[in-house]
Amino acid sequence: MDKLVKLSNGVEMPIVGFGTYSIFGESLRNSLLSALDNGCFLFDTAHCYSNEEDLGDNFNFIFNNTKYKRKDVFITTKIGDKLDNNGFPIGAYFYNSASCINRNHREVVFKQANESLKKLRTDYIDLLLMHWPYNDCLEEIWDSLECLLKSGKVRSIGLSNCKERHIKKILQVCNVKPMVNQIFVSPINIQRKTIEYCNSNKIKVESYSPLMCLRSDFNIVSSNIVSSICEKYGKTPAQVILRWNIQKGVIPIPRSMRPSRIESNYQIFDFELSLNEINSIDDFNVNYQYLPESLYCPGY
């Protein structure tokens, strides 16, 4: 299997990545090195994760002291609102509400993008996403992302947490279609409708928290279906679920700080699930919504 996918503008993106949310300092450096050594070159962060500076410093160290260089890695970050301790938007930006600090949304987009470039210590961002469907100014934000793409500061642009209705709103006004939509895709929420719509518009789908479904309360690990698949291929449940993602055309971005688990997460290219096995994993779907709508993202 090819380990790269081509976005609609021709940019090549790795087919599996590494999520860096809430990882900092030496733990982040060790995780980055472990991921790189195991063939992972896609790394995901966001302006609101507060670790862009750590990521930039650690990559700078890696690029100067190892065989890996900037050209080898694909860095994704996101513009967006501040988050509370539960990861929900607090309404500081991109809303026509009393809590909004600055309603010049274009100015905020450019400011955040430039801050990300500086913190990441890079001249360009490989993929810049809009973190949430900010309904009050979707079109304005997207136009700003198009400007950043045209400037060369970013190589590709896309969305996160957007459903079909949000994408349609952007497609009505855009000059450049979104290239990626990062959403929660999992056996407990297979997102069939959104994935089909994205595919029909040549928008690649990326999955955050792809292994959250392995929590004991979802009964996937203990199921005979998954255990029999694991036994057949000599793989772990995590490897089976990550393989399920990529065979469905979804780019998973698992997160871990354990070297053994990081290594395991990228050993998924030496087996292939059958269509019946993929369908049996689909049957775990319960349309579980990982991040429920908030006051500031109504209708998400």
Catalytic residues: 49
Pairing of strands 250-253, 204-208: parallel
Check if the beta carbon of residue 181 is closer than 8 Å to that of residue 190: no
**Spatial separation of the C-alpha atoms in residues 189 and 291, rounded to whole Å:** 12
Measured distance CA(96)–CA(136) in Å, rounded: 6
**CA–CA gap between residue 185 and residue 282 (Å, rounded):** 11
Q: Which helix or strand (DSSP H or E) is residue 253 part of? A: strand 250-253
How far is the C-alpha of 32 from the C-alpha of 94, rounded, in Å? 32
Question: Alpha-carbon distance 137 to 104, whole Å?
Answer: 10
